[in-house]
Amino acid sequence: MAGRGGRVDLADLAGSVGDTSTVDAPTNSDGVFRANVPLGQLVANPRNPRAEVGNLEDLATIVDRQLQPGTVVSRAAWLALWPDASQLGAARWVVVNGCRRLAACHHYRRAGMDVVIRDSIAGSKDTVLWAAIVENIDRQDFDVLEEANAVELLVTETGSATAAAQRLGRSPGWISQRRALLKLAPGLQQALRKGELAVRLARSLAQVPLAQQVDAWRKAQDRRGVDREVPGAADVATEPVTPATVMSRAFRKVKAQPTDLVVAVCENYDETQINELIVLLSRNRRLTPKT
């Protein structure tokens, strides 16, 4: 509060009232923007699908300027869904979207963080999880195992893989493929995170009994051609077969349609790679032999 004749900071005023204040009520606060909310009043989403915030160098400029506000729900709205107050400490707001921004504010010693209050997304547990997942899904820095764990969490909250697929606007097959990655042995999961194991191969290995997965991967790396001795690894090709050969065989095997290819490309390529693919297709379509 300011002295007589001074200005009143509404954010500070809101922070000074109790938990029962209508300032935190969804009907009064939903959609309200608050600038520079003190970091002590904010806590990162305890249900954040990201295991780690990762490297924060790309957010170094936040100390001077925050380009996008985080999305928060009030303490009361969160506790109505998850009553464990110990996860929140003394925070008044839970950051549902923007946990990396919050981490960057702490790391680079910014005094506060800009937020928008969205208690409306706290209508149910699966809505909160959906809001947290859709911000991260398909981002390059959101690794595929984080994505898989997020999907699994949403399946648990919604009650079925079909419901989770509908919530995310994805196919049941995509949901199934992501969940399958959680069946990988810990060593293979680490290799997948590091980019040493391709997602396509990881999906095949996930069908192999757990005790045989690492051995199956080694055989796939060491042997030429196709390893048909390990169940579930029959379609794993290794050098000297080229990626183009593998994909051509896969297209013929599953009779893939152009729409299937579009889905596969969008799942695995970023915008720059997709644009490059369009250019290459335009250049080479006249050179491709017709069958």
pTM of the full structure:
0.54
Please tell me the predicted confidence (pLDDT) of residue 284. 58
Strand-strand pairing, 42-44 and 93-97: parallel
pLDDT (0 to 100) of residue 78: 95
Domains of the chain, CATH where assigned: 10-124 (3.90.1530)
CA distances from residue 34 to 72, 85, 179, 232, 277 in whole angstroms, order as listed: 10, 23, 38, 53, 42
- The three-class DSSP label of residue 282 is helix
Cβ–Cβ under 8 Å, residues 238 and 221: yes
Intervals of the chain under pLDDT 50: 1-27, 224-241, 286-291
> Could you check whether the bond before residue 240 is cis, i.e. omega within 30 degrees of 0?
yes
In 3D space, the residue among 265, 219, 215, 214 whose CA is nearest the CA of residue 239 turns out to be 219
- A 10 A CB-CB count for 252 gives 9
- Is residue 217 a contact partner of residue 233, using CB atoms and an 8 Å limit? no
Buried b (16+ CB within 10 A) or exposed e, 199-212: ebbbbbbbebeeeb
pLDDT of residue 88: 94
Q: What is the pLDDT of residue 244?
A: 65
